[in-house]
Amino acid sequence: MHALDWAVLLATTLLIIGYGLYKSRGAALSGEQHLRGGGDLPWHTIGLSVMATQASAITFLSVPGQAYEDGLRFVQFYFGLPLAMVVICAFILPRYYGLRVITAYEYLESRFDTKTRVLGALLFLVQRGLAAGITIYAPAIILSAVLGWPLEATVVGIGSVVILYTVTGGSRAVSQTQKQQMIVMMGGMVVAAVVIARSLPEEVALPDAVAVAGALGRMNAVSFEFDLNDRYNFWSGITGGFFLALAYFGTDQSQVGRYLGGRSMAESRLGLLFNGLFKIPMQFLILFVGILVFVFYQFAAPPLLFNAPLERQVQQSAEAPAFSALQTRWDATQAEKQAAARRFVAARHADDGAAQARAAEELRTLHARAGTLREEAKATVRRAVPGAETKDADFVFIRFVTRWLPEGLVGLLVAVILFAAMSSTASELTALGQTTTVDLWRRLLRPEVDDRTLLLASKGFTVFWGLVALAFASFASLLDNLIQAVNILGSIFYGTTLGVFLAGFFLRRVGANAVFAAAVVSQAVVVALFFGSSIGFLWYNVIGCGLVMALASVLAAAGFGRRTA
């Protein structure tokens, strides 16, 4: 990065964090206010804060790369989200507001009993405590590889800044900071989209770029074909995406804590609906940036491998001659592909349908040949560096940014990625601190605690979880395929948690003992499935949730722990 990039990065970081702390000054007068986030946030701050919490650094690093390799179809994953927002606003939010809860798990005590609340809180702490480490580690490993920053320093840098403003300003500072971070994140992506579109050859206008992407199958935004084996289509998005969003926004304290800081229930509702309204356009924008990068590389040669450090390792190994031969064939294919892409655009301008179809076919053939060369290159990498991760979609965007974008914009986009990491981590640490303080420490050990001690305890627990996340992020490299490991861990617990909440909301006859027994049995079944079956881990969410609700209903019908009130 150049001096201008560093100036942009440092200036935006200091301004935003300074502004967040300034806006939250005097607000954290009491422990209760510190935990609640002041309770005076308007809908737009809530909406942006909720969006910033979900948008992690991996969103900005991986999603453009995903569009580059797989097209727009990932956008369908978010189709169920607006429906989940409506259900949360109509049925869940009134319950949380009615009870004046700080955490979602307080509701479980009101509806069931203390042990169910503690179970919900513990499931959240285990799952989110580990995830917070990954939220810091995953972008740090990519940024350190591409920008040459030391990994440990990157991890500690991101973590320390977040701990500082989260602990100092509390939940309110997190929301204020996230609002500004979200504006920079989206502004940065809009500027990136405009600059990339303007970097295309002069004769390639935006409709031409879309046509090139379409000819190579990248404009596949919506498919109504029902196929259970297809991960992203309209039907999986509207059903699976709905349940996942319901669990995440309805029961995960890192989100619940964001919207319960609202000035009123109406402000919280509008914030959530704002999230529902803008989430799909936001994801579309990030995916479309990836499409523009893809089109850019039809007119300029992309690297054979996007993971530059890995590429250098291969070039210094015994496989260097084989890799070099592949590179020569790659360059020749790219030159042919660029010529075909220009013929495609020229035919389009001349309105010559037959010539356009011929050029499109040629493009597809060359694209397939390039794909084969990339696979051969990855096989060479595996021989040169045994055990290396050759999936390099996460490196597509950041490598493009550092190679092709102008000074200053590189700093802005690195800021976008760092802000995304910080905003997600801040919500996670705040939620972990809130849950440990409210649901475990105050509820079980210090119910009569004075306000000053409550404030100190909540800050102490937030620092504790920040240090746990940093420690986990520092040792993360010792584990293989870490992100998948944490996703699996999350899926193991998410289904049971959602099942307990949904039983509380919708199964009126189910009492505390029935739901607790159902939750314990369901969790055991899901863990047994994890160790003893080959079922895809995303199904654990559905199985866990369905089992809790079905078992709790059966137990309640049999008179076990029936609700008497």
Q: Which is nearer to other proteins, 221 or 517 (CB)?
A: 221
Residue type, 320: A
Instruction: Report residue 50 CA to chain centroid gap.
Output: 12
Nearer to other proteins, 95 or 358 (CB): 95
d(CA 510, CA 296): 58
What is the nearest approach in angstroms of other proteins to the Cβ of residue 197? 15
Q: Which is nearer to other proteins, 295 or 420 (CB)?
A: 295
**Helix 409-435 to helix 114-147 angle, to the nearest 10 degrees?**
160
Min separation Cβ 37 and other proteins, Å: 19
Q: How far is it, in rounded angstroms, from Cα 141 to Cα 149?
A: 9
User: What separation, in Å, do the N-terminal and C-terminal C-alpha atoms of the chain show?
Assistant: 64
Rounded Cα–Cα distance for residues 394 and 396 (Å): 6
In the complex with other proteins, the residue whose CB is nearer, 361 or 389, is: 361
CB of 541 to other proteins, least distance (A): 22
Angle at 160 between CA 166 and CA 143, to 5 degrees: 115
Residue by residue, DSSP assigns 140-159 as: HHHHHHHH---HHHHHHHHH
Q: Interface residues with other proteins (CB under 8 A)? A: 72, 75, 79, 82-83, 85-86, 89-91, 94-95, 97-98, 210-211, 213-214, 217, 219-224, 234, 264-266, 269-270, 273, 276-277, 280-281, 284
CB of 270 to other proteins, least distance (A): 7
From the number of C-beta atoms within 10 Å of its C-beta (0-12, 13-18, 19+), residue 87 rates as: middle
Shorter beta-carbon distance to other proteins: residue 235 or 560: 235
Helices (H), 260-392: 265-299, 308-315, 320-349, 353-384
Q: Rounded to the nearest whole angstrom, what is the least distance from the CB of residue 405 to other proteins in the complex?
A: 25
Residue burial 447-465, b: 16+ Cβ < 10 Å; e: rest: eebeeeebbebbbbbbbeb
Nearer to other proteins, 240 or 544 (CB): 240
In the complex, minimum distance from the CB of residue 70 to other proteins, in angstroms, rounded to a whole number = 14
Helix (H, G, I), strand (E, B) or coil at 41: strand
| Minimum CB–partner distance for residue 117 and other proteins (Å) | 20
Nearer to other proteins, 287 or 429 (CB): 287
How would DSSP label each residue in 215-240?
Answer: HTT----------TT-SSSHHHHHHH
Q: Which CB atom, from 353 or from 406, has the smaller least distance to other proteins? A: 353
Q: Are 70 and 62 in contact (CB under 8 A)?
A: no
Q: How far apart are CB 498 and other proteins at their closest, in Å?
A: 20
